[in-house]
Chains A and B, each alone.
Chain A
């Protein structure tokens, strides 16, 4: 019998050092911040982007991807290529572009791992559906927005460019200035969930979850190589598989406390050596539901000092990375 995807909780921690983990398009691309709570924020979309880019680097196709060369001709050509590929593989037509065949959508689900993981909204009519009906694949894997486990401040530098900002009409034939907003250091924590029931609807497999793990751990390192994203390192990955249903463990991040090294203020943290992660409350929370836990998968970066993450008595698997 094929192994089923479990209901699961995911805790993923990574650090961002002298970088901009997730720019806010409405704030001159400053790092997303909750200025009242003094916490850095990262959207679920940004995290999933790392995974999608990782899938692209593996040679897989993904549904949601950025413009390749900006050409609509190429985009139309790409669609035609996929429809041709579908016809070649199945001997069936994909349908009109605005009214794609439901079997074509099933083919897409098999082809696109990111849809199986994170879902997609496909407002395309299917056979037998009422006019205007949508084909929505709700993602079996959902991440809450990530946030820093400690207060963070943003700093800004001014950049100069040798390239012209604009050259139209002879204007701007000179270098230009720009702002570069970063955070000195942030330990960012994400909480995610995996839904077995939703996995069954889109055909998510246990192997897909293994790729997701790699996409989070390796994808962050592979994807965070641009100037604004460099300096990000995964620090901890924990997945708790439930026997059935979910249990009200709550947000596993509430079980973590970041304790700065002696004499250091929380906002003065600049490296992983400047703090210890206290996970005793998380371990206590997990212990309450020990009987409901089928498996725990764990990876901790060797440089991260973690206290109190006692998992004795749990079926523990080490994530190799």
Chain B
């Protein structure tokens, strides 16, 4: 995997990168499904969803495509990730009837305990008008061979892809590879997600919807968040005009705020 962090030398605050960034390969794909649920890790009695797959979910999805097991966080460390929603989305709530598991006794697992079941409101993301819910995803790395493998795996994944929950079946479209560059700092329009502490918005136009939340970036054993970051993104996937001190990916004429996993 590549060196720790980009070489820097980006444009902040001048607006144009002036070289010195890390030249990378960038993989783009569109991730689609009929419903998505990316559980906000801090929710308890209700299962609320993020509007996009968190970095940890994207890393897991790429691991599933390659057929990796629990070793996937190590095998896929160092990737730069970014995402935005594509198309109109809305929320849908359904209450699900889960087994009540407290001590993992066999009676509980079989639904035979005195507590029986517990009902959890579950929030889905669905597409408007019956269309799929969709996300544009970028993955960048200096390891061109890995990205080539990922591109093939997304088109013919080893494990089925899903949008969060295993039942939220998914597929990848428009898989492509491009040259890109990661630099630190950017002033201008950009897409994807941004570290909130390094972000300043420039006169957001009316209608801008900025979503800001704590996202799991890396998971540890038992899927417990090991690294959490506060990220911001435009909830409809529209570009934001920003002054940003974090890392961005320049690719195909656009700029994407990235998170390194």
Contacts and interface: CB of A to CB of B under 8 A. Distances in A.
Contact of B222 (A98, A133, A138): A133
A45 B97 contact: yes
Contacts of A198: 159
Given A41-B94, A98-B104, A144-B169, A197 B112 contact: no
B33 interface: yes
A39 B107 contact: no
A98 B103 contact: yes
B34 A247 contact: no
A52 B111 CA distance: 13
Contact of B156 (A25, A37, A247, A253): A247
Interface string A183-212: 000000001110101100000000000000
Given A26-B119, A97-B105, A249-B171, A65 B111 contact: yes
A180 interface: no
Interface centre among A26, A36, A64, A66 (most CB of B within 10 A): A26
A129 B119 CA distance: 30
Contacts of B106: 79, 82, 97, 100
A79 B107 contact: yes
Interface string A73-107: 00110110010000000000000011010000000
Given A26-B119, A245-B156, A64 B99 contact: yes
A251 B33 contact: yes
Interface stretch (B14-22, B78-86, B160-168, B251-259): B160-168
A122 interface: yes
Interface string B135-178: 00000000000000000010111111110001111011100000
B109 A122 contact: yes
A75 B167 contact: no
A1 interface: no
A27 B132 contact: no
Contacts of A248: 155, 171-173
Interface of B: 32-35, 67, 90, 92, 94-97, 99, 101, 103-107, 109-114, 116, 119, 121, 126, 129-130, 132, 153, 155-162, 166-169, 171-173, 221-222
A254 B169 contact: no
Nearest to B153: A245
Interface of A: 7, 24-27, 32, 34, 36-37, 39, 41, 43-45, 63-68, 72, 75-76, 78-79, 82, 97-98, 100, 119-124, 130, 132-134, 138-139, 142-145, 147, 191-193, 195, 197-198, 244-251, 253-254, 292
Nearest to B166: A142
Contact of B167 (A24, A66, A143, A249): A143
B94 A43 contact: yes
B111 A64 contact: yes
18 contacts: A24-B95, A25-B97, A25-B119, A26-B95, A36-B90, A43-B96, A66-B111, A72-B114, A78-B110, A79-B106, A122-B109, A138-B166, A144-B33, A197-B67, A197-B158, A245-B153, A246-B160, A250-B171
